[in-house]
Structure 1
Amino acid sequence: MADGLTLESVRESLIRQEDTIVFSLIERSKYPMNSPVYVKGFADIPRFTGSLVEYVVRKTEAVHSTVGRYESQEEHPFFPDNLLPSLLPPYYHPKVLHPAGDAININTTIWDMYFNQLLPLFATEGDDGNYAQTAACDLECLQALSRRIHYGKYVAEVKFKESPDGYGTLIRAQDRDALMKLLTCEAIEEMVKRRVEKKAMAFGQEVTLNNTDKEVKYKVDPFVVSRLYVEWVMPLTKLGIANTPLQDRGAVGDSDLGSDSMKLQTRNQLSKDVNELIFGVDMMDTE
């Protein structure tokens, strides 16, 4: 994350991360469910009783930690207790997030969502024996989803810095219900749903030279991708923002906002601004 963090840079990153998520799902769809990958003790691994996919994730994160991956605030390990010290010379990673916000890690929820709810929606039944490849694809999906969902913490930070008087007063009270209401805008969420669905259509369409084939086939059902965002990515992003602790930043109180009508206008504008940002949407874009 660069020092020059702006609303536009965050929005652009969110849109690019949509591409990564769609492509990772397409890669995973090449393999069937391959259920043994998720059975504890299936692989005869010394001193390890978990599943093969857990082993792959743990070992990969451990190796990546030795080259400094998790020194960046953008990265969130699924098994933080398994990380090793970096072997590289220290590199300055700007500390954009508040320390308490940086500590928020909901990867346990993301892990459960991916394996128990999302994966069965697009992985076909069957077993082709490609267990290592399957686990590697699962890892790519997990990392892409984790990065995107946790990026909501950057949204909270940049919006607070851009508008401390308005946004800060809503954080100060730490009213989670009010914050979740602020972060919910059906019009913007519908635009995100349509956008990721179109990306799944564009990236995952089966190409054929048979002009008589009228049925378009997709590697991953576009509806599954839109459902992923509606049911999990967007709600979990908002949850991460609502739980980002910014109350000690000297935010102003409601009395500083003036009249009741001014407070309402401020909240309405904040709701629009924050939703456009957290989902990478410009309301001027109607496509």
Structure 2
Amino acid sequence: MDFMKPETCLDLVNIRHALIRMEDTIVFGLIERSQFFSSPSVYEPNKFHIPEFDGSFLDWGLQQMEKTHSQIRRYEAPDELPFFPSVLLPSLLPPVHYPKVLASYTDEINVNQEILEFYVKEIVPQVSCKAGDQLENLGSVQVCDIDCLQAISRRIHFGKFVAEAKYQADKELYNKLIIDKDIPKIEASITNAAVEETILVRLIEKGKSYGVDPSMKYSQNPQSKVEPEIIAKLYKDYIIPLTKKVEVDYLLRRLEDV
């Protein structure tokens, strides 16, 4: 995909390849996170005294990272969305004038707070090596969490490109469904159970390949760093459903740009 060439961004083959690459990033991120304890102190609001800040240590780290990344144009890219839009700073680099691919309201479709909630409550407990705090590793935990959250966010919000591609492929169908606000039929039109099953199978294979020391691969106890089935379950229960929510929310407003 080349964001300077709109036709490449709405090619479902290109989109599928991009999503597969994102799986690698997410799997590696979860494997990296799995070496640390659950570290509840990182997520507890105001656990640490941070001047002029109200929130968790993770929230603070995310905001600092997004401030910096906004200055190098990260959030000008159509496939990036911040968790804390209000903290962004002007870019230090000249703007990039990306051609319009998505609808004008695209940045308003933002489920990052939902991602943050399920990540902390559901993903962290399942991938951490042990429960509790390791005080010497709280900073490392925060850095790993930020990497995982940004990768998951990009993957979920990429659903907008899927939604736009499907809309462009059959405007007549989607215009009717949008006018009727027929959410069940919109959901059905964007759902491909066979593709979803293929994703889950592929994630298990990636978890087995990436999460095991190659020298232990054929032993009777390969000791995966993260259980591959857990990664697939997280996709099935959270990442795929939230991606569909993004697609539906995007499509329901699509006629605003007509």
How far apart are residue 121 of structure 1 and its match? 0.9
Determine if contact 2:45/2:57 at 8 Å carries over to the other structure.
Answer: yes
Q: Give the residue type in structure 1 aligned to 2:50.
A: I
Q: TM-score normalized by structure 2?
A: 0.90
In structure 2, C-alpha distance between the alignment counterparts of 1:210 and 1:227, rounded to whole Å: 22
Bigger Cα displacement from structure 2, 239-248 vs 197-206: 239-248
Q: Is 1:201–2:208 an aligned residue pair?
A: yes
2:120 to 115, 118, 130: 115
Indicate the residue corresponding to 2:242 in structure 1: 236
Q: TM-score normalized by structure 1?
A: 0.81
Q: Give the residue type in structure 2 aligned to 1:40.
A: P
Return 5+ residue gaps in structure 2 as ranges.
none
Determine if contact 2:174/2:186 at 8 Å carries over to the other structure.
Answer: no
How far apart are residue 164 of structure 1 and its match? 2.5
Indicate the residue corresponding to 2:225 in structure 1: 219
**Structural mapping, 1:118-133, within 5 Å:** 118-123=123-128, 124-128=130-134, 129-133=136-140
* CA deviation map 1:164-189 (0-9, x unaligned): 33444433433222212223333222
**Structure 1: which 4+ aligned runs deviate by more than 4 Å?**
none
Change (3 A) 1:210 1:190: closer
For residue 45 of structure 1, give the secondary structure of its aligned residue in structure 2.
coil
Q: Is 1:175–2:182 an aligned residue pair?
A: yes
**Structural mapping, 1:1-287, within 5 Å:** 1-3=3-5, 4=7, 5=9, 6-123=11-128, 124-128=130-134, 129-208=136-215, 213-244=219-250, 245-248=253-256
How far apart are residue 112 of structure 1 and its match? 0.5
As a proportion of its length, which structure holds more helix?
A: 2
* CA deviation map 1:88-107 (0-9, x unaligned): 11212222110123320010
Bigger Cα displacement from structure 2, 170-179 vs 77-86: 170-179
Q: Give the residue type in structure 1 aligned to 2:90.
A: P
Change (3 A) 1:127 1:163: same
In structure 1, C-alpha distance between the alignment counterparts of 2:76 and 2:131, rounded to whole Å: 38
Determine if contact 2:25/2:151 at 8 Å carries over to the other structure.
Answer: yes
**Kindly, what percent of the aligned residue pairs are identical?**
37
CA RMSD of aligned residues (A): 1.9
Determine if contact 1:172/1:248 at 8 Å carries over to the other structure.
Answer: no
For residue 48 of structure 1, give the secondary structure of its aligned residue in structure 2.
coil
In structure 2, C-alpha distance between the alignment counterparts of 1:42 and 1:200, rounded to whole Å: 34
Bigger Cα displacement from structure 2, 170-179 vs 107-116: 170-179
Change (3 A) 1:9 1:168: farther
How far apart are residue 20 of structure 1 and its match? 0.7
Determine if contact 2:213/2:222 at 8 Å carries over to the other structure.
Answer: yes
Bigger Cα displacement from structure 2, 86-95 vs 54-63: 86-95
Between structure 1 and structure 2, the one with the greater Rg is 1
Return 5+ residue gaps in structure 1 as ranges.
251-287
Report the number of matched residues.
249
